[in-house]
Amino acid sequence: MNAMDDLKNTLKEGEVIEAIVFGDWGWGGHNEPKPYPVPKEKKGVILSEANATPMMDGWSFNGGFGSPTCYATYIWTNQRMLWVTTYDGATYLSSAPRNPSSTMPEMSGGG
């Protein structure tokens, strides 16, 4: 499992990661793995891709059902803003265009 691999698999052609900010694990830190993949002093801090990558090993944005097993995360690219969505316990990355654009909005969650 590697959250950076998950993220890179969602990037579009020409899309570049500009910044990543991690929040709490799951719901308020419940069942956060130890040792902490993301040290407490790095939460809420703007990180480059290079600085964030080592902290993204051993967990995934794509989770099954139950409490989320990933960090709340905001990701900025040159094209979009991405974040973790939870629906019925399943987790995955959702996104929106970074700037106003003529595009068809999608409904996050539910099928």
* CA atoms of 110 and 55, how far apart (whole Å): 30
Q: Closest Cα partner for 77 from 30, 27, 15, 34?
A: 15
Residue identified by tokens 């097993």 is 69
Q: Closest Cα partner for 43 from 60, 69, 22?
A: 22
Q: Where in the sequence is the domain holding 27, given as residue range(s)?
A: 3-10+17-97
**Quick check: helix, strand or coil at residue 51?**
helix
The answer to whether residue 105 is domain-embedded is no
Q: Has this prediction a pTM greater than 0.95?
A: no
The answer to whether residue 107 is domain-embedded is no
The answer to whether residue 69 is domain-embedded is yes
pLDDT in 10s for each residue of the chain, 111 residues: 899 999 999 999 999 999 999 999 998 888 899 999 999 999 999 999 999 999 999 999 998 777 889 999 999 999 999 999 988 778 999 999 999 999 888 887 665
Number of domains into which the chain is organized: 1
